[in-house]
Structure 1
Amino acid sequence: MNIIMANGIELGWDSFGDADAEAFLLISGLGTQMIRWSVGFCEGLAGRGYRVIRFDNRDAGCSTHFTAWAAPDFGALVSALMAGRRPDVPYTLNDMATDAIGLLDALGIARVHVVGRSMGGMIAQVLASEHADRVVSLTSIMSSTGNPALPQAASDVMAMMMRPAPDPAVDPDGFLRMRLPFARRIAGTAYPFDEDVHRALLLEEARRCYDTDGTARQIAAMAVAGDRRARLATIKAPTLVIHGTDDPLIPPACGHDTAVSIPSSIYRPIEGMGHDLPPELEQTVIDAICDVAKKGSHQAVSR
């Protein structure tokens, strides 16, 4: 794992494959870290002839944490939004997208294939709409558009996600008793839930950095992002939208809305997948994103 200065902050990152090859940039979701993009997935993608870069978003993992800002008051945040006021937040999804651009600049990479999951899909959408000259292709996985008419997460899932867990450094067993049922609940129904793998992943993320206030600040960034559909309509990069039919956190209608909002995008619902990327589906997803990447590369050469 490496640390690099980008957009005025430190970002933790690593890469797989030939440093001179066309690059993929993988963007992680809310409160999670770059290691959610498994080594097997990254190596599988690199094996197709690409350089694969993953990184920790701000306020996650080994990147800069905005500890000068307290955790947002969500009651005040919701009240301000309901009243049509823009609440004061530490940063926005646009700032997080600019972090990604700063990382590319620091690495000397002009253009990339961008893949984002969940909140990372939202950041990837901002990249493709606001920094079109840097994005060769876009893949948005288990994400949404900010359309206020879309269905929300299942109520029990939201309750599980927002329920405080014990500090894993003090009570790792209690931490796992809280977080493993949530991971199982959002994982979908079609593929086995490997509790040992998820336990190891949760503990590794906690070892790298455990910051619930950072996750709250990321939630605030999503909350003020608003409806992105008008911006998505400007995206010209070849786009793939992947969404699980069993996603209880960001319902399938959100993926469909994303695809409808981006001209000429390809919508790929995956039966039985939840808000997770199980190992059984990694090859399927790699095949799909490589197909859209090839289309983007061909368009770039043809210009």
Structure 2
Amino acid sequence: MSTDQYACLPNGMHVCYRARGNPSDEALLLISGLAEDLTCWPPVFLDGLVERGFYVIHYDNRDVGRSTTMRTPPPSTLRQLLGRARSDAYTLTDMAADGAGLLDHLEIDRAHVVGRSMGGMIAQTFAATHRVRIRTLTSIYATTGQPSAGQPTWSTRIRVIASRPPRTWQEAVQRHLTITSRIAGSAYPLDDSWEKQYAKGAWDRSCGAGQAGVARQIQAIQASGDRTGQLRTITAPTLVIHGDKDPMVNITGGYATAHAIQGARLVVIPGMGHHFAPGLLGRLLNLITQHGREGVPM
């Protein structure tokens, strides 16, 4: 098991990351989703990538886990529900720069970049703004910011934004189980034991102080607006993965992403929701590995 390490970036961010595998192998950068810290990737998934010949780096985005906690005021609940970002909001471009800065710190010129949910949006932005640094892009249950695509159901939006934040690790675990069971889809059961362990560990890693950061991350998505034009500039070989039972990012977000990026391949997984359920890991590993091996022009 890899341990937490830290990179101090020129932009002032301190990024907590872990790396596993052989540094001489091709680097693969994993970017987590909204409110998720670097431990959200199941160990069997990480080990599977290493076994397939990748040097795997995963990190805490700003405002989550042990990376820098921003000091700007979080947006109000009403602002989040209406999508009205504060003027001091950071954006997905800023978050993509954190990932590029981490690669600089590790002296890695190019990497395969894989992101899920908000991390998929950051990965898309990385591919558009740091084109020479990316080998392949894999965008998993993400969207483009286009208002008519990829929107969550209102019931899901309210649960994520407007529900009372947890005050103890027990409440954090219960909240995680409640939301995850709702968004995970119909065909792939959760591993409740692992989910509880993850939620408890994430609470401990953030010292229970994550709700304002989550609000700022939501605001970063909203402040970035419709990125369709930006996505059209992406030249990296792109794989888009989405489930047809996703109440957090509607499947229209996957279609919009694949349509915006020239040459992108879209894989729709029946019954998949907004979660890396155990029954999906083998297929996801195969898709990402095949894309990494075949998607790079010789």
TM-score by length of structure 2 reads: 0.93
Q: Once superposed, which parts of structure 1, at least 4 consecutive aligned residues long, lie more than 4 Å away?
A: 76-81
| Correspondence 1:3 to 2:2 | no
Distance 2:79 2:280 in 1: 40
Q: In the TM superposition, what is the alpha-carbon distance from 1:152 to its structure 2 partner?
A: 2.2
Count of equivalent residues: 291
2:57 equivalent in structure 1: 53
Q: In the TM superposition, what is the alpha-carbon distance from 1:294 to its structure 2 partner?
A: 1.6
Distance of aligned partners of 1:13 and 1:147 in 2 relative to their CA distance in 1, 3 Å threshold: same
Distance of aligned partners of 1:151 and 1:49 in 2 relative to their CA distance in 1, 3 Å threshold: closer
Identical aligned residues as a percent: 38
Distance 1:136 1:98 in 2: 17
Distance 2:173 2:43 in 1: 23
| Correspondence 1:197 to 2:194 | yes
SS in 2 for 1:52: strand
1:245 equivalent in structure 2: 244
RMSD: 1.6
Distance 2:101 2:238 in 1: 23
SS in 1 for 2:57: strand
Distance 1:244 1:98 in 2: 28
Unpaired runs of at least 5, structure 2: none
| Correspondence 1:72 to 2:75 | yes
1:154 equivalent in structure 2: 153
Q: In the TM superposition, what is the alpha-carbon distance from 1:89 to its structure 2 partner?
A: 2.8
Q: In the TM superposition, what is the alpha-carbon distance from 1:291 to its structure 2 partner?
A: 1.5
Write the letter of the residue equivalent to 2:74.
A
Given that 2:64 and 2:214 are in contact with CA atoms closer than 8 Å, whether structure 1 keeps it comes out as yes
1:291 equivalent in structure 2: 290
Given that 1:77 and 1:87 are in contact with CA atoms closer than 8 Å, whether structure 2 keeps it comes out as no
Q: In the TM superposition, what is the alpha-carbon distance from 1:74 to its structure 2 partner?
A: 4.5
Distance of aligned partners of 1:19 and 1:122 in 2 relative to their CA distance in 1, 3 Å threshold: same
Q: In the TM superposition, what is the alpha-carbon distance from 1:160 to its structure 2 partner?
A: 1.6
Q: In the TM superposition, what is the alpha-carbon distance from 1:222 to its structure 2 partner?
A: 0.5
Distance 1:201 1:3 in 2: 21
- Give a deviation string over 1:154-177, Cα, whole Å, max 9, x none: 122122212023312xxx333333
2:266 equivalent in structure 1: 267
Write the letter of the residue equivalent to 1:189.
S
Given that 1:89 and 1:220 are in contact with CA atoms closer than 8 Å, whether structure 2 keeps it comes out as no
2:115 equivalent in structure 1: 116
Q: Map of 1:1-303 to 2, 5 A cutoff? A: 1-6=4-9, 7-66=11-70, 68-76=71-79, 81=84, 87-150=86-149, 152-162=151-161, 163-168=163-168, 172-209=169-206, 210=208, 211-297=210-296, 299=297, 302=298
- Give a deviation string over 1:105-138, Cα, whole Å, max 9, x none: 0000000000000000000001111111001100
Distance 1:178 1:268 in 2: 30
Distance 2:222 2:82 in 1: 12
Distance 1:9 1:276 in 2: 28
TM-score by length of structure 1 reads: 0.92
SS in 2 for 1:284: helix
Q: In the TM superposition, what is the alpha-carbon distance from 1:229 to its structure 2 partner?
A: 0.9
Distance 1:69 1:225 in 2: 17
Write the letter of the residue equivalent to 2:281.
E
Q: Which moved more, 1:116-125 or 1:189-198?
A: 189-198
- Give a deviation string over 1:6-45, Cα, whole Å, max 9, x none: 2321111111110111100000001111111122111100
- Give a deviation string over 1:189-232, Cα, whole Å, max 9, x none: 10112222211111110010031001111111111111111111
SS in 2 for 1:75: helix
Distance 1:136 1:285 in 2: 18
SS in 2 for 1:288: helix
Unpaired runs of at least 5, structure 1: none
Given that 1:241 and 1:265 are in contact with CA atoms closer than 8 Å, whether structure 2 keeps it comes out as yes
SS in 1 for 2:224: coil
SS in 2 for 1:224: helix
